[in-house]
Amino acid sequence: MHEFLIGTDISKFNKKMQEFIKSTQKELDDFYNTGIKQPVIFFIDSRKEIDKIWEKKTEEWFSAWAKDGNIYILNPEIYTKESNHKDIRHFWQSLKHEYCHLYYRKITGAGYPKWLNEGLANYLAGQVKKKPTKEEVLRVFDYYKKIDWQIYNIGYFWTKLLIKKYGKKKILTLIKNINSQTTEKEFAEKFYQVYKFHYSRKDFEKILGQ
């Protein structure tokens, strides 16, 4: 695991990385109306190293994570070889995705609800997801703490819908009223206070029909 990329293109890469960090922090500072300390970005050199860190066999789509204010991501030199992401642009999207998690955690002190945390990260990182079926969409209530590969499609769908239909201000108000002690029941109450419809299958179905 290396803090900096090792390779013949290091000066060019470092310039691009600095530009990325500067533009990403400005964009996310503006969106979240807050700032974070610039994270250290660690590059992981292989899938085996990821598996060793996590002490389990990880899925091929898993290429990055945020922890303790820092970001860990597969080295861009082997990113497309050690993951199922075959376009190097996905490296930059994944990096931005993890950046979003750092802002979310700063504001909420937690990562819940998972669907909203992941949905916002996908939305802001430009990771456009496949539209879920109606039945899949309505499984959003399963993903307060649970996470699997479907959370990205479902979270992206609802986050995009809430922002497009009701605006950025409301979703930020909701997030800023969440903390590490917020239960799912309390979240549902806060959701209603902000959106004036219930965090329930019945009301979400109505929104889909509008």
Out of 6-15, 100-109, 123-132, 171-180, pick the least confident: 6-15
The total number of residues shown for the chain amounts to 210
Question: What is the rounded CA–CA span in Å between residue 23 and residue 125?
Answer: 12
Q: What sign results for the dihedral spanned by CA atoms 62, 127, 109, 149?
A: negative
What is the SS3 assignment for 204? Answer: helix
Query: What's the gap between Cα 127 and its chain centre?
Result: 10
DSSP state of 150: H
pLDDT confidence of residue 5? 45
* % of the chain beyond a pLDDT of 70: 95
- Whole-model pTM over 0.85: yes
Q: Which two tokens stand for residue 12?
A: 């060019």
What is the SS3 assignment for 156? Answer: helix
pLDDT confidence of residue 210? 72
Cβ atoms of 104 and 117 closer than 8 Å: yes
pLDDT confidence of residue 128? 87
Q: Where are the domains of the chain?
A: 1-108, 109-210
**Torsion, CA 79, CA 83, CA 84, CA 86, rounded to 10:** 10
Question: What is the rounded CA–CA span in Å between residue 158 and residue 160?
Answer: 5
pLDDT tens for each residue of 160-175: 999 999 999 999 999 9
Question: What is the rounded CA–CA span in Å between residue 82 and residue 141?
Answer: 33
